[in-house]
Amino acid sequence: MTPPELDRMSALFLDLDGTLLEIAATPELVVVPTGLPVLLSHLHHFLQGALAIVTGRSLAVADGLLAPFAAAAAGEHGVVLRYADGTLEEMPAGLAVPEAWRDSLVAAAERWPGVLVEPKPHGCAVHYRLAPEHGDDVWRLVRALVADDHPWFKLIPAREAVEIGPRAASKGHAVERLMTQAPFAGRCPIFIGDDFTDEAGMNAARTFGGQGLRVAEFFGGDPANVRAWLKRGVERLDGCPATSPVRAEVSP
């Protein structure tokens, strides 16, 4: 499958891990390629601000990884939104995983070498990439904590991980909310993601007449190919030749 070409009426929604960044053994070990923040800044300029990072990371962590770039964003799978003007919105306000659940996850992880607990402001993720033999143990524990019909929380599957997060939030809701506001409103959205949680964002983009692009299908499963496509988009939008200073500045 061939990804579409960006134009100046596109609205771009980008997942982070597995889409812009290669998956690492642990969340802390991800590497941000040289030039990625500058590349995003150029895209943000050419799209007149219609670019958002939509990630499972907290906004603070995502901002730290991509600094000095900052723009509209959704953190923790849409729990927290930041609009283009900097306004923050929390959905639902004040709801966070109970401390007793967090303590149970941490205590279990201490019994399962290689299992890592990633606390977030509203949710909590458990990673078993380094200990796949404990995947079933992790899922039994989180299912014991969060029933399928729990009114406030849900389980969010991910690559060799599972997260407990607020039921009301999703990447799809984040796209819907952002698309009602300038500079996204009236544009054609493109959502790029690689994981289960990105499907809602892709579906929302399609609802607004845009496209949802899976990294595996459109980019060979390789974030480097996503970055290369974004770089080509910058060059196309800018109309600059391949040897221009902009090309060198934004190489992924």
The CATH number of whichever domain residue 194 belongs to comes to: 3.40.50.1000
Q: In terms of domains, do 159 and 175 share one? A: no
Q: In terms of domains, do 175 and 64 share one? A: yes
Query: Is there a domain that residue 2 lies in?
Result: no
Q: What pLDDT was estimated at residue 43?
A: 97
- Whole-prediction pTM: 0.90
Give residues with Cβ within 8 angstroms of 84, minimum separation 6: 49, 50, 71, 72, 181, 182, 183, 184
- Residue where one domain finishes, among candidates 166, 187, 203: 166
Query: Is there a domain that residue 4 lies in?
Result: no
Q: Which 3 state secondary structure label does DSSP give 96?
A: coil
Domain range spanning residue 159? 99-166
Catalytic annotation, residues = 15
Q: In terms of domains, do 159 and 174 share one? A: no
- Residue where one domain finishes, among candidates 166, 197, 217: 166
Q: What pLDDT was estimated at residue 249?
A: 41
Q: Which 3 state secondary structure label does DSSP give 88?
A: strand
Write out the chain's pLDDT in tens, 252 residues.
Answer: 899 999 999 999 999 999 999 999 899 999 999 999 999 999 999 999 999 999 999 999 999 999 999 999 999 999 999 999 999 999 887 899 999 999 999 999 999 999 999 999 999 999 999 999 999 999 999 999 999 999 999 999 988 999 999 998 999 999 999 999 999 999 999 999 999 999 999 999 999 999 999 999 999 999 999 999 999 999 999 874 333 333 334 444
Q: What pLDDT was estimated at residue 159?
A: 87
Query: Is there a domain that residue 36 lies in?
Result: yes
Query: Is there a domain that residue 192 lies in?
Result: yes
- Single out the residue of 200, 199, 197, 198 nearest to residue 165, CA to CA: 197
Query: Is there a domain that residue 41 lies in?
Result: yes
Q: In terms of domains, do 29 and 87 share one? A: yes
Q: What pLDDT was estimated at residue 252?
A: 46
Q: In terms of domains, do 157 and 176 share one? A: no
Q: In terms of domains, do 84 and 17 share one? A: yes
Q: In terms of domains, do 184 and 111 share one? A: no
